[in-house]
A and B are shown apart, each in its own frame.
Chain A
């Protein structure tokens, strides 16, 4: 019997955005509140997993246009380069910098390079989770 899961697909279009925004909130809240790169990555992977459930692997790969293994490698590279910032400024490895930066639109903003390290963790978690799920889903 051919099933038409129009209800699931339309709910997914709304809920996946909400989950992704929630993961962004978790990512940026991680410095002062519960959250951080790990759970934000898992939540983003959950949003993409919901899209995978509603559609199929080929459609989602056409939507995203990214290689999940390269995403993992890129996240590891970001985390490593964040550690190298400490070495190049004469401090031990993984020494972080922070300070007030004047941004074009946001004005004076307090930034910390630990956020870049968290971004690396985020990309690694998203990449590894999606690689596991897609690899298991493709094998028959």
Chain B
């Protein structure tokens, strides 16, 4: 019972946090703000999936956690490279 209450409070806080990140994604003055907000949204999703897997009492979602974290990392790296260089994948080494 107390576990369910605590998990519900945690999920509510993470939902509020994700909505605040959504505001930053929509209103961010620069592209970098939006990219960082997207990356943090991914980390919030990791936490939400972890709390849900405790709530549903299953370990079937634990692979999803690692997968979301890896995809958020790769996505953020590619966005960062696009912001810095203008293209995501180089054809030849230039340094």
CB distance from B84 to the nearest CB of A (A): 7
Do A3 and B95 form a contact, CB below 8 Å, given A22-B66, A34-B60, A53-B88? yes
Interface string of A24-60 (1 = CB under 8 A from B): 0010010001110001000100100110111111110
Query: Which residues of chain B come closer than 8 Å to A137, judged between CB atoms?
Result: 88-89, 91
Pick the interface stretch among B5-13, B33-41, B71-79.
Answer: B71-79
B57 at the A/B interface (Cβ < 8 Å)? Answer: no
Could you say which interface size class chain B belongs to? 20 to 34
Q: Nearest A residue to B63 by beta-carbon distance?
A: A34
Across the interface, do A58 and B92 meet the contact criterion of CB distance under 8 Å?
A: yes
* Chain A residues touching B, majority SS: helix
Interface string of B48-65 (1 = CB under 8 A from A): 000000000000100110
Across the interface, do A50 and B93 meet the contact criterion of CB distance under 8 Å?
A: no
Q: How many A-B pairs fall under 8 Å by CB?
A: 61
CB distance from B92 to the nearest CB of A (A): 5
Query: Which residues of chain B come closer than 8 Å to A54, judged between CB atoms?
Result: 77
CB distance from B50 to the nearest CB of A (A): 15
- Sorted nearest first, the 9 A-B pairs with minimum C-beta distance are A137-B89, A56-B90, A56-B93, A52-B89, A50-B74, A53-B77, A34-B60, A57-B91, A58-B92
Residues of A at under 8 Å CB distance from B?
Answer: 2-4, 8, 15, 19, 22, 26, 29, 33-35, 39, 43, 46, 49-50, 52-59, 133-134, 137-138
Q: A34-B64, A46-B74, A56-B93 are in contact. List 15 more A-B contacts (CB 8 A).
A: A22-B67, A22-B70, A29-B63, A33-B63, A34-B60, A46-B71, A49-B78, A53-B81, A55-B93, A56-B91, A58-B91, A59-B93, A134-B89, A137-B88, A137-B89
Residues of B at under 8 Å CB distance from A?
Answer: 60, 63-64, 66-67, 70-71, 73-74, 77-78, 81, 84-85, 88-95
